[in-house]
Structures are given as C-alpha cells and as structure tokens.
Amino acid sequence: MNDFAAPPDLANCTRDTSGTQMTKRTALLVGASGLVGGHCLQQLLADDRYERVIVLVRRQMSASAFHPKLVQRVINFDLIPRLPDFPAADDVFCSLGTTINKARTREEFYKVDFTYVHEFAKRAAERGAKQFLLVSSLGASARSRVFYSRVKGELEQALRSLPFQGLQVFRPALLVGERTEERFGERMGSILFRALSPVMLGRLRRYRPIPAQTVAQAMIRIAHQELHGVNVFESNRIALIGIEHQAKSMLGR
C-alpha cells in the first residue's frame, strides 16, 4: 500500500535540453480510464518534469499500466470529502465525466460531473495544489438551456472561487479516439463531423472534432507554463497548441 501521509519530496531537480534547472513536480490525475485521461496518463509518465504521477481510480488499473512513477489509489468517489491522507501534488489534471445515457438520470450525471469534480478540486486546493487543469466542454455556460452545457458551466464557475494559482479550462469539441466503451451517438457524430471538417472554416472551425490525444498534449503543455489566474482554451486554440507541440517534438525541442 502506498503512503500518502507526507507530500512528495520536490527538492530533486533535473535539467531540460536548454540546460535550465527544473524542479521535479508531482501530478495528480482523476479520470485516467477515460479517453483524454488515458492519453494524459501516458504523457505524464513520459514527461521528465514529473517525478510522480498519482491517479485516483475506482478500481485497480491493469498490470500493463505499471510504471515506476505511477501511484494508484483506489477510492470510493462518494467519500472524497472525507478521504484520509488526500495526496499532495503540484498540478492537478481532471478529465472525469460521464454521459446522461450512462448516468441514466440527471441527478447521477450531476453527481459525477459536478459534485465529484468540485469536491476533488476542493481537496486538492486544501493540499496546496498550484494549478487545476479541467476538461470541460465546448459551449459550457452556467446560463445555457442545455443541461449538459449548464452543468459544465456551473462547475467552471464554482472552481473559480478555489485558491489555485492557476485554473486552466479546456473546452474541446467532439472528442475522437479509441474508447474502451462504445458510445454509438458519439461515434456517429464523429463520422459526420469528420466528413464536414474540411468545410468547417472561420467561426465553424471551433466545432471541428478534435483528437483526445491533442487535448492531453495541450493540457500538459499549458501545465508547463504555470499560467496564473483563470485561462480558458476553446477547441480551436487547443488544436493549435497540439500542432505546436507536435512540431517542436519533431524538431527535438
């Protein structure tokens, strides 16, 4: 069993390719079994800036997920407010969410997409996390008439009051990628929007489907920048950050 009683030792340092000294950081991730979360986990484990990656999960991940930097903690999400020894971290990544279809009721959807995330963020802030990076949704607004978008907007609004140095909100359009669970509606929507993407220009560009891997890349790249205040990244901007990340990776920077 892993001991979470003490925060990680962040004194260890490394140097980036430019020779600049970097302090090793700890990442905390919730939603690691999801589409964006899975890519976040892979990329965080491969990132030299992080010496430890902690994931909160409902059930133990497969043995294939083992990595020397990975720390898994199996929890009951209903007990997050009373979870003993909540782990300390620098950067907190949240891609937790469900669908109305899977939740079956609006109440259950709200519990996962608002209550769980809000309680998780509050505990992370209490433990001194510097920034919170959230996967929200395109169209999120507390004033929206669409229930899904309204819940996402209310969550964003609630997180703004927490004492993080930086709140990074990512609002992707329709996510594309290989899911572990089948979502027929999303699959059909993805096929349709992919076909229409070439003609989705100008203001419509923000509605283009976006790979989950690109969202994860953007989240980690923004985490490196340690931006202060509330920063919102709409889908088209997320795509540009992802393209820039890939270009620099190809150049070995």
Check residue 242 and give its pLDDT: 79
Tell me how far CA of residue 220 lies from CA of 4, 26, 45, 116, 207, in angstroms: 24, 13, 11, 22, 22
In a domain, 1, yes or no: no
In a domain, 154, yes or no: yes
Query: In terms of residue numbers, what domain contains 193?
Result: 22-250
Q: Residue 200's pLDDT band (boundaries 50, 70, 90)? A: very low
Asked whether residue 190 carries a pLDDT value surpassing 70, the answer given is no
Q: For residue 44, give the CATH number of its domain.
A: 3.40.50.720
207: Cβ–Cβ under 8 A, 6 or more apart, which residues?
138, 173, 174, 193, 200, 235
Q: Which helix (H) or strand (E) segment is 150 a member of?
A: helix 147-159
**Beta strand 21-23 with 13-15: parallel, antiparallel or unpaired?**
antiparallel
- Using CA atoms, how far apart are residues 153 and 137, in angstroms rounded to an integer? 9
For 145-167, what is the mean pLDDT?
Answer: 98
Q: Residue 198's pLDDT band (boundaries 50, 70, 90)? A: low
Confirm if 92 and 132 have CB atoms less than 8 A apart: yes
Query: Which 3 state secondary structure label does DSSP give 30?
Result: strand
Provide the domain count of the chain: 1
Identity of the highest mean pLDDT range in 6-15, 165-174, 236-245: 165-174
* pLDDT averaged over every residue in the chain: 84
Check residue 66 and give its pLDDT: 81
| Helices and strands counted in the chain (H then E) | 8, 11
Asked whether residue 44 carries a pLDDT value surpassing 50, the answer given is yes
In a domain, 3, yes or no: no
Check residue 247 and give its pLDDT: 65
In a domain, 204, yes or no: yes
Q: Which amino acid is at 42?
A: Q
pTM above 0.75, yes or no: yes
6-29 pLDDT tens trace: 333 433 444 444 444 567 899 999
